[in-house]
Amino acid sequence: MNDSKQALNTLSELGRAGRQILFIPGNTDSRDLATYRGENITCIDGRQIEYEGYAFLGLGGAPLSPFNTPYQWSEQEASERLVKAHKEDTARLIIISHAPPKDTRLDKIWSGAHVGSQALREFIEAVHPLLVICGHIHEAKGCERIGDTAVVNPGPAYAGFYSILELDSQVSVVV
């Protein structure tokens, strides 16, 4: 099964849970996945939406790589998409990005190279979101901080990893 078909099946299953689902496509998904519409499911790739008093900004895909996956972008494109999507400064901004920010434990691959997004890192340093949830680097599960911003890579769902995010007067994350 290709990754986009698997993603559609997963989204369909999640939609049955009756909870609001926000998602972004990964680098092995087609950009067309961003047009998926389902019950309780919203793609926030390249958009910022308000939900229960928080602003969620999405960045799907990943930086250019030698693997030529279907959904890659240049750092310039990522920077432009983040700036365009960002509506206003808010202390309650949460970024959901497939790619992790550059130069963290969460973007380090098995060889020790840092392969995260420089554009995302610079955006975090400029805007200071409350939280960034990322993935992409399967072996880099964990939590880290960039200034006051918590950054979480829950690890790959296919391996049984996930994070629970609780939003109330503050954000709590369990990895």
The residue whose two tokens read 């202390």 is 91
* pTM, to two decimals: 0.92
The pLDDT value recorded for residue 166 is 78
Question: What is the C-alpha separation between 127 and 90, in angstroms, rounded?
Answer: 9
- Separation CA 20–CA 14 (nearest Å): 9
Which ranges of the chain have pLDDT less than 50?
1
Q: Which domains does the chain have, with CATH numbers?
A: 3-10+25-174 (3.60.21.10)
The pLDDT tens digits for 59-87 are 999 999 999 999 999 999 999 999 999 99
Dist CA 77 CA 18 (whole Å) = 34
Give the pLDDT score at 58. Answer: 98
